[in-house]
Amino acid sequence: MSEISSAKKSKVLNWLPSAAIAAATAMVIASAAPVRAQDVAAAANNYKDSCADCHGASGKGDGPKAAKLKTKAADYTNCAEMKKLDDDYMFKIIKNGGESLGKPKDMADFGKAYDDDEIKGLVAYVRSFCKQ
C-alpha cells in the first residue's frame, strides 16, 4: 500500500467536516422547507373552502355545520389541546380522514382534494389559530 502524503491527508481531513456540514444543512433545508406567503394565502383559501364549515372561520370548532356533527369539531384555538397533536398526526387526519386514525368519520379525508404540500400548508394554517 502506498502512503498518503501529509498534504493530501490535510486536504481530505479539512474537506470532511465541510462536506458533513453541507450534507446536514441540505437535509434540514429539504425537510423543513419554509411556507411561502402565497402558500399561506392558498392554505387560508383551502381552509375557508373545506374546513371552516365545521371548524369555524376562526378555528374555534363553531362552524355552521358543527352542530350537526356526532363529535365536536376540534377547536384549533385551544393551545393546550393543539400541543398534544404533532404535525404528522394533523397531516394524516387531514389527508386520510378521522376514521383512518380511529376517530369519527365526521372528519372527512382531503387527500384527493389537496396534494401533500397543500395539506402541509393547511397544517401550518391550522396551527396559526393557537396564539400564546
Cell numbers representing residue 83 in the block? 400541543
Q: Say how far apart CA 87 and CA 85 lie, in whole Å.
A: 7
In a domain, 132, yes or no: no
Both 49 and 107 in a single domain? yes
Domain count, the chain: 2
Both 62 and 104 in a single domain? yes
- Which residue from 84, 87, 82 is spatially nearest to 121, judged by alpha carbons? 87
Both 25 and 43 in a single domain? no
Q: Say how far apart CA 118 and CA 124 lie, in whole Å.
A: 10
pLDDT digits (tens, 9 = 90+) for 85-122: 999 999 999 999 999 999 888 999 999 999 999 999 99
29 has a pLDDT exceeding 60 = no
Position 9 confidence tier, pLDDT thresholds 50, 70, 90: very low
| CA triple 76-79-81, angle to 5 deg | 80
> Is the pTM value of this prediction over 0.85?
no
43 has a pLDDT exceeding 50 = yes
Both 101 and 86 in a single domain? yes
- The enclosing domain of 100 has a CATH number of 1.10.760.10
- Which residue from 55, 35, 44, 33 is spatially nearest to 108, judged by alpha carbons? 55
- Which residue from 72, 77, 64, 63 is spatially nearest to 107, judged by alpha carbons? 72
Position 61 confidence tier, pLDDT thresholds 50, 70, 90: very high
Domain that holds residue 7: 1-32
Q: In angstroms, what is the C-alpha Rg of the chain?
A: 22
In a domain, 100, yes or no: yes
What pLDDT is stored for residue 6 in this prediction?
Answer: 52
Position 39 confidence tier, pLDDT thresholds 50, 70, 90: confident
